[in-house]
Structure 1
């Protein structure tokens, strides 16, 4: 890994912030690196407030969306809430439908089948709406590029409101309203909302017409926080406030479906990391292995006993998903080795029998292994479907755009996207994608980067620093947990490999007799030789707590070790 030590802020700025906040050099430096340079900015960072949220009517077309929904409510129209089958989509549908049902009874939900309909708005979904007399569809986490489908709906007399956060194409769909902060003509101050976040802004705008404020809508924030964590959007600006209050709801008064998931995993208090690795995979597993409707049903259920039954099913879907993605990952790794694909600038693999529901996870695992922009293809009807994942610093969406002559349909973000193409175009696409990436990528991006906030000594690690760092949470893109580097440490002599297949490493680092700290390095068992024989080495780590037999002690979570 490339260790990249962040530039240290100017000494005068550190000194000024230290005095303003009554903190030490380390804390002042960490805050300045996050763009927090005044007392007021620090207050906003450490004490998120609902006042940090922007007026929803600053978003382009919000007034049109609210007006059309209010008309539908007043006229007793049938409203269909439509969303994608992933976490962001299903939480969005749960949020919007739950809110609308407090205003009108004639609300239904629709999640497309991943295998039959594919991603986003489908003709089948529009036909369902037409056959069942829905005159308004509110689409969440999808729709920004569904130009032909929106036109088809219009011909059938169905209006669309789109709430999306993906990058738009050159033209927007002809919908009643298109809410997307990434619209080129949208001046909304915060561009990084997830789909559920855009949906929350819409219900905030609708509620304001009823004399309600954001505080009256906190019950929906467990869904928003889950979507923020799962969709890997920056936890800065509005997302930080939404995640902060959403975690409070998750840990104090979650909806029955969320409570049932948490009960299945037996965790007392969840962080955003727990949401990403514990809650989100279970919600996602429904759409991957069975149907996204199961997730919406769980998240909208008001009876806990019923929700608990649904959660058992969801947990089984997740178990099946783990087994499937492990098997496919192993098959993909063999395929890559056989054809020397690891020598390329990209990783592109295909097997017509791979499960479409897990190819995104497999793409992520392959990216972790070979650290290349990665595409995993499988057969989907008469086409090939793929999930794309990228390496830090490289825009895979732009790369796909450069290959668009070979693609039927694509969409997504800088680091994750999806596409379909005709089987006869696969080889041409694969060659073009390799060529585009080879030409555009900075070769250093093909080696994983480990960003280090600050170099410190082990004697500077204490409980007070840990307590302050805890207040930096919730962590995520744009506000990662602080990472430190310490050079010239030694193992006290008892370091060893632990875990299945000696995959992990555990040792006690020391720089003097007074500053011994227990260290755990997950997945770093192969570094054991570096720490042997009391040779000095360097470590990069985050500060953590170890809970064991009722005792709590500081420990370092090691990210990498070098001689």
Structure 2
């Protein structure tokens, strides 16, 4: 692993911020590293308010979208709320449909079947709309590239409103309104919203016309925060405001569906990380194993007992998903070794029997193992479908675009994408993808990197520092949990491995032999292999985040170890 220690920011800026905020140098440094250099910027960072949210009408086509929905309601038209089967899509559908249903009943939802229809807007979904008398489809978290689908719907007298956050193609669909802050002609001040975030801007605009304030929409923010966490969008600007207030809803008064998912969690307060690892996988499991409709049913159910029944079914789906994920990952690793592909610049594997619902997770697991841009293919009807995952700082979407002539369709982000191709094109595409990545990637990016904010001593970890670091939350891309490093660290003799295969590392650490400081508990998930390096009070360097451990209602300081190396390594 490459250790990348950030360069120290401008001394004068750090000193000025330190004085105006009355904080220590560590906090001032971390803030300047995040682009926060003035009192006003710091105030917005530490004390975000719902008033920081932008006017929804600044988004291109918002006026058209609102007008068309109001017309549909006035004319008693049937509205179909359509969205993808992942967390972002199902939360967005739940949000917009439940909002519309508060005072209008002719609203239904549609989640495409992952296996029969695939990702995004489907012709089957449009046929369903026609057969059931829907004249308006609101597409969420999908649709920005659905030019043919929207044209097909138009022929049938069905209008589209698209609410998406993916990159547009060269031509936009001929919809009534296309809400996507990534449109080149859209001047909306923040373009990193997730699909559910764009859906929230739509209901914010609709609400304003009904005389509602932003406070009236707060109950919907548990859905938005869940989508922001799951979709790994930047935790900056509006996303940070929406996530912060959404987390407050999750922790105080969540909708019954989310309450049912988290009521067995033995933590008083959930963080964004908890949402990523506890709530999101369960919502995702419905679409992976059975159907995304189950997630929408859960998230729009207002009877707690019924929600608990749905949550139990989804819990069973999640258990099945974990088993499949483990088995397919094992098979994929075996395939890579058997074909002697460990030295390639990419990891591309295929088995027609792999479950389509978990190939994205498997791609993430393989990326963790080999740290290469990774594609995992399986059979999907008469074609092959794949999920892509990338390594830090490499744009897998651009790489796919460079060999898209071999693909039937593709879409996604810099770090995650999906695609389909004809089976006969698999081998030639696999080689083309390898060639593109080989020619464009900096070889350094194929070595995992840990970015460290700054070096500190254990004596710097005071209760005040811990308290202020908590106010940096919620953490996410572009506002990551600060990572520190310390040298001359040693375990006091309590080091041990944990887990069925000794994969984790538990330590009780001190710094410097002469230190009178009390030791600090530390946990290193997945770092069991470093046990020999820390035995016998050997000194080592440690990269970590300052965290807290909650156990039996007791909260204690704990260092979450991210990396270990020899003291002079």
Q: Which of the five TM-score ranges fits, normalised by the shorter chain?
A: over 0.9
Contact residue 373 and residue 391 of structure 1 kept, 8 A:
yes
Residues 66-215 of structure 1 mapped to structure 2, 5 A cutoff: 66-215=66-215
Counterpart of 2:294? 294
* Cα distance in 2, alignment partners of residues 178 and 551 from structure 1: 50
Does residue 58 of the first structure (1) align with residue 61 of the second (2)?
no
* Cα distance in 2, alignment partners of residues 491 and 253 from structure 1: 42
1:197 counterpart SS class: helix
* Per-residue deviation, 1:137: 0.2
Q: How many residue pairs align between the two structures?
A: 563
> Could you give the per-residue CA deviations for residues 202-247 of structure 1, whole angstroms, max 9, x where no partner exists?
0000111111121110110000000000000011000000000000
> Could you give the per-residue CA deviations for residues 133-181 of structure 1, whole angstroms, max 9, x where no partner exists?
1000000000000100100000000000000000111110000000000
Contact residue 73 and residue 103 of structure 1 kept, 8 A:
no
Contact residue 226 and residue 279 of structure 1 kept, 8 A:
yes
* Cα distance in 1, alignment partners of residues 491 and 99 from structure 2: 56
Contact residue 545 and residue 554 of structure 1 kept, 8 A:
yes
> Could you tell which deviates more after superposition, 457-466 or 395-404?
457-466
Pick the aligned partner of 1:544 from 543, 547, 558: 547
Contact residue 264 and residue 311 of structure 1 kept, 8 A:
no
> Could you tell which deviates more after superposition, 260-269 or 211-220?
260-269
* Per-residue deviation, 1:553: 2.7
* Per-residue deviation, 1:269: 2.0
Counterpart of 1:412? 412
* Cα distance in 2, alignment partners of residues 290 and 221 from structure 1: 26
Does residue 516 of the first structure (1) align with residue 506 of the second (2)?
no
Counterpart of 1:554? 557
Counterpart of 1:485? 485
Compute the TM-score of the two structures, normalised by the length of structure 2. Answer: 0.98
In structure 1, list runs of 5 or more residues that go unmatched. none
* Cα distance in 2, alignment partners of residues 506 and 126 from structure 1: 54
Compute the TM-score of the two structures, normalised by the length of structure 1. Answer: 0.99
1:485 counterpart SS class: strand
Counterpart of 1:256? 256
* Per-residue deviation, 1:549: 5.3
Contact residue 463 and residue 554 of structure 1 kept, 8 A:
no
> Could you tell which deviates more after superposition, 126-135 or 532-541?
532-541
In structure 2, list runs of 5 or more residues that go unmatched. none
* Per-residue deviation, 1:490: 2.0
> Could you give the per-residue CA deviations for residues 295-346 of structure 1, whole angstroms, max 9, x where no partner exists?
0011001111111111100110000100011100000000001111111000
1:354 counterpart SS class: coil
* Cα distance in 2, alignment partners of residues 280 and 492 from structure 1: 38
* Cα distance in 2, alignment partners of residues 214 and 552 from structure 1: 34
* Per-residue deviation, 1:533: 3.1
Residues 222-371 of structure 1 mapped to structure 2, 5 A cutoff: 222-371=222-371
1:343 counterpart SS class: coil
Does residue 534 of the first structure (1) align with residue 567 of the second (2)?
no
1:376 counterpart SS class: strand
> Could you tell which deviates more after superposition, 496-505 or 8-17?
496-505
Would the alpha carbon gap of residues 246 and 288 (structure 1) be closer, same or farther in structure 2, given more than 3 Å must change? same
* Per-residue deviation, 1:513: 2.5
Counterpart of 1:454? 454
1:556 counterpart SS class: strand
1:444 counterpart SS class: helix
> Could you give the per-residue CA deviations for residues 504-531 of structure 1, whole angstroms, max 9, x where no partner exists?
2222222213252222211111111212
* Cα distance in 2, alignment partners of residues 552 and 238 from structure 1: 31
Counterpart of 2:9? 9
Does residue 474 of the first structure (1) align with residue 445 of the second (2)?
no
* Cα distance in 1, alignment partners of residues 258 and 332 from structure 2: 34
> Could you tell which deviates more after superposition, 5-14 or 381-390?
5-14
Contact residue 386 and residue 418 of structure 1 kept, 8 A:
yes
2:549 counterpart SS class: strand
* Per-residue deviation, 1:462: 2.0
Does residue 386 of the first structure (1) align with residue 389 of the second (2)?
no
Contact residue 264 and residue 312 of structure 1 kept, 8 A:
no
Counterpart of 1:221? 221
* Per-residue deviation, 1:547: 3.6
* Cα distance in 2, alignment partners of residues 104 and 372 from structure 1: 49
* Per-residue deviation, 1:491: 2.2
RMSD: 1.1
Contact residue 484 and residue 543 of structure 2 kept, 8 A:
yes
* Per-residue deviation, 1:551: 4.4
* Per-residue deviation, 1:103: 2.8
* Per-residue deviation, 1:266: 4.7
* Per-residue deviation, 1:272: 0.6
* Cα distance in 2, alignment partners of residues 314 and 121 from structure 1: 24
1:480 counterpart SS class: coil
